[in-house]
């Protein structure tokens, strides 16, 4: 077995065990493979092992891989899907809509309007997740759930006919004790329930939460999608250069 096949087998065991412990079925949790910093060949290798959903952080970076990935996406059976999970600047919205099958890091009304226009021009309906900021770290992206901006976005989303708002995404704070991580995941679920009730025209079903270090906790707290990079592909080398 290749290193990647071994990592995937180990990961699948851990996911199955977390699902069992939480009394959930494995089918309730989608595995997103986070392929940022890894080349298209690695994505193809992971795809051959059965993975179909990939997460990328940067528009530019994925643009360089996309020609090799496209044949796998255009296939009718088991098509590969690539979503953007990193922060997106409004001025790159058009390019992002051209490149990605979904944007999981929607964090402003302005960006939503831009994505909607771009998707309209391409005749697409674009799946999006709202990224929610649940930890006080300055560096964290996402919408503050109690902000006026969040309320404005949620009010407006049902009118943006080229966007398909499917749920919420969050990144837990880094290097904190387990109860803090768990509280963050539980809070995301709470916001989904509150917003699903307050905005019945939105079908907020997806809870994208949990990464290599904390996916078991996330599954226990109701994650429907986990985003795993390191545990699959190994340690990343740091980014060099610009976005």
Least distance in angstroms from the C-beta of 155 to ligand PLP: 26
Rank residues 63 and 151 by Cβ distance to ligand PLP and give the closer one. Answer: 63
Q: How many residues does the chain have?
A: 243
Least distance in angstroms from the C-beta of 166 to ligand PLP: 16
Least distance in angstroms from the C-beta of 68 to ligand PLP: 21
Choose which of 7, 35, 42, 57 interacts with ligand PLP (CB under 6 A). Answer: 57
**Count of residues that interact with ligand PLP, criterion CB under 6 A:** 14
In terms of Cβ atoms closer than 10 Å to its own Cβ (0-12, 13-18, 19+), residue 242 is: exposed
Contact 133, 147 (CB under 8 A): no
Please tell me whether residue 25 binds ligand PLP under the rule CB under 6 A.
no
Beta strands in 118-238, from DSSP E residues, in sequence order: 126-131, 163-169, 206-208, 225-228
Least distance in angstroms from the C-beta of 178 to ligand PLP: 16
Beta strands in the chain, from DSSP E residues, in sequence order: 30-34, 53-56, 81-84, 102-106, 126-131, 163-169, 206-208, 225-228
Distance CA 139, CA 160 (A): 29
Taking Cα atoms as reference points, which of 82, 88, 93, 80 lies closest to residue 122?
93
Rank residues 191 and 215 by Cβ distance to ligand PLP and give the closer one. Answer: 215
Tell which positions 139-168 bind ligand PLP, by CB under 6 A: none
Please tell me whether residue 106 binds ligand PLP under the rule CB under 6 A.
no
Choose which of 85, 115, 119, 217 interacts with ligand PLP (CB under 6 A). Answer: 85
With CB atoms as reference, the residue minimizing the distance to ligand PLP is 229
Least distance in angstroms from the C-beta of 4 to ligand PLP: 14
Distance CA 86, CA 35 (A): 12
Distance CA 168, CA 221 (A): 14
Task: Give the chain's count of helices (H) and strands (E).
Answer: 9, 8
Distance CA 32, CA 30 (A): 6
Tell which positions 183-212 bind ligand PLP, by CB under 6 A: 211-212
Please tell me whether residue 34 binds ligand PLP under the rule CB under 6 A.
yes
Please tell me whether residue 94 binds ligand PLP under the rule CB under 6 A.
no
Tell which positions 213-232 bind ligand PLP, by CB under 6 A: 213, 227-231
Least distance in angstroms from the C-beta of 144 to ligand PLP: 17
Contact positions vs ligand PLP (CB under 6 A) = 34, 36, 57, 85-86, 171, 211-213, 227-231
């Amino acid at each position: 077995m290749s290193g990647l096949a071994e990592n995937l087998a180990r990961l699948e065991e851990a996911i199955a065990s977390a699902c069992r412990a939480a009394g959930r079925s494995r089918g309730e949790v989608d595995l997103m493979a986070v392929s940022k910093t890894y080349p298209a060949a690695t994505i193809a290798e992971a795809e051959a092992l059965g993975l179909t959903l990939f997460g990328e952080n940067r528009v530019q970076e994925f643009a360089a891989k996309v020609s090799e990935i496209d044949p796998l996406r255009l296939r009718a059976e088991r098509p590969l899907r690539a979503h953007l999970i990193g922060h997106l600047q409004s001025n790159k919205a058009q390019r992002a809509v051209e490149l990605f099958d979904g944007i999981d890091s929607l964090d402003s009304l302005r960006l939503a309007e831009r994505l909607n226009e771009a998707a309209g021009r391409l005749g697409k309906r674009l799946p999006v997740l709202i990224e929610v900021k649940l930890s006080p770290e300055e560096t964290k992206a996402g919408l503050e759930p109690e902000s006026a901006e969040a309320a404005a976005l949620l009010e407006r989303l049902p009118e943006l006919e080229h966007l398909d708002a499917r749920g919420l995404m969050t990144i837990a704070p880094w290097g904190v004790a387990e109860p803090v991580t768990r509280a963050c995941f539980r809070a995301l679920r709470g916001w989904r329930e509150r917003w699903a009730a307050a905005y019945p025209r939105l079908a907020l079903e997806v809870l994208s939460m949990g990464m290599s270090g904390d996916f078991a906790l996330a599954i226990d707290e109701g994650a429907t999608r986990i985003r795993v990079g390191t545990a699959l592909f190994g340690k990343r080398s740091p980014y060099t250069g610009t976005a």
